[in-house]
Amino acid sequence: RWTLVVGCDIVLTESPAQHIFNPKYGYIMPPHIPEESDNVIVLQRSDSSESALPADPDSSKHQLPPSIISRQNGQYTVEEVARHNKKDDAWLIYNNQVLDISNWVSHHPGGEQTIYRFAGMDATDELRAFHDDWVLEKKVPHLVIGTVVDAPAPSQLVQDFRELGEHFDKLGYFHVSPWFYVQKVLFVMSLFSCVLWLVLKEESVAAHMLGAVVLGIFWQQFAFVGHDCGHMSARTHARDHIDVVNLGALVTFFNGISVAWWKATHNVHHAMPNTVDCDPDIAHLPVFALHKKMFEGLYNKYHGRVMEFDWAARNIFVPYQHFWYYPIMAFARWNLY
């Protein structure tokens, strides 16, 4: 075992080839510490291999406190993990391992709110559903602080869900073909070219109306490319040579939809689908109410405020929301996009 001090950050690692995450230097490996890190000290190594980095002669005065060592190999109950459910003190459970994500929440590529919603909870199946294996294998070990000693057995529903996921994986449903997106982008750009031709080269009203229809199809088709980029499903493995960032930026430019903004809310929707106090995609008071709990007003965890069931909701909108839906959505699209 290597024990290192990087600045003021204490790090444990099983081998010198294992990557270490440090807030200042990012991912580093013990044999390749940044040159300016003159305050990196090798405290100890469990064997006497000649290839080991030289130990500091005063290493005895740098021994790790027992609290740090016990934290790295700690054992916790589900109840203990549940108490760490705040943004600056967030733990979660993955595969019976306890992860401290407090410093990782703000860096989560899927959005801060998405992962924070599972603080204090078992998020094993959610993490598996949202991430490819390579992501979990690479990132999770750096966050582990211990194990759960009283994890309950998975329910039959959870077992069925996992079995279904494995079945789909064997069928190849979770493996991306880059050529699919090459063909898709070529197709939607051909639609846009048709729109330009009909609008700029033709003068008849019929041609311009046809151009409007084709433009609508272009927007709809390209929006789903942005949908895949937002969910990172356009690149599920490091070997997938798909530039998701620039592809998403292209969708944003042509559609006027911020993929990053949409991702921040929609990923939470998929993480906590139709959860009345958290899902931002159903938080529409005072205009629409989708659950009886909303009739009393409800604190929304995503927005961080109480969404009031006020006079307008009680007397104008909600009782007649089935009539209001289409007229409101005709204008709400401006706010949405």
| Integer Cα distance of 133 and 236 in angstroms | 9
Q: What is the pLDDT of residue 329?
A: 83
Q: What is the pLDDT of residue 120?
A: 94
Predicted confidence (pLDDT) at residue 47 exceeds the cutoff of 60: no
Q: Is there a contact between 292 and 276 (Cβ–Cβ < 8 Å)?
A: no
DSSP string, 93-105: EETTEEEE-TTTG
Share of the chain above pLDDT 90, in %: 34
pLDDT in tens, 283-307: 889 999 999 999 988 898 888 899 9
- The answer to whether the Cα torsion of 238, 241, 246, 249 is positive or negative is negative
Q: What is the pLDDT of residue 122?
A: 94
Beta carbons within 8 Å of 271's beta carbon, 6+ residues apart: 114, 117, 118, 126, 130
| Integer Cα distance of 117 and 302 in angstroms | 9
Q: What is the pLDDT of residue 172?
A: 83
Q: What is the pLDDT of residue 54?
A: 39
Q: What is the pLDDT of residue 269?
A: 86
| Integer Cα distance of 129 and 245 in angstroms | 21
Band of the pLDDT at 87, cuts 50, 70, 90?
confident
Q: What is the pLDDT of residue 79?
A: 94
Q: What is the pLDDT of residue 111?
A: 77
Q: What is the pLDDT of residue 259?
A: 72
**Of 125, 90, 85, which is closest to residue 107 (Cα–Cα)?**
90
Q: For the whole model, what pTM was predicted?
A: 0.61
Predicted confidence (pLDDT) at residue 83 exceeds the cutoff of 90: yes
Q: Is 211 left (phi over 0), alpha (psi -120 to 50) or beta?
A: alpha
Phi, psi of 92 (to 5 degrees): -150, 170
Helix (H, G, I), strand (E, B) or coil at 163: helix
* Mean local confidence (pLDDT), 206-218: 95
Measured in whole angstroms, how far is the alpha carbon of residue 240 from the centre of its chain?
A: 18
Judged by average pLDDT, the poorest of 2-11, 198-207, 226-235, 264-273 is 2-11
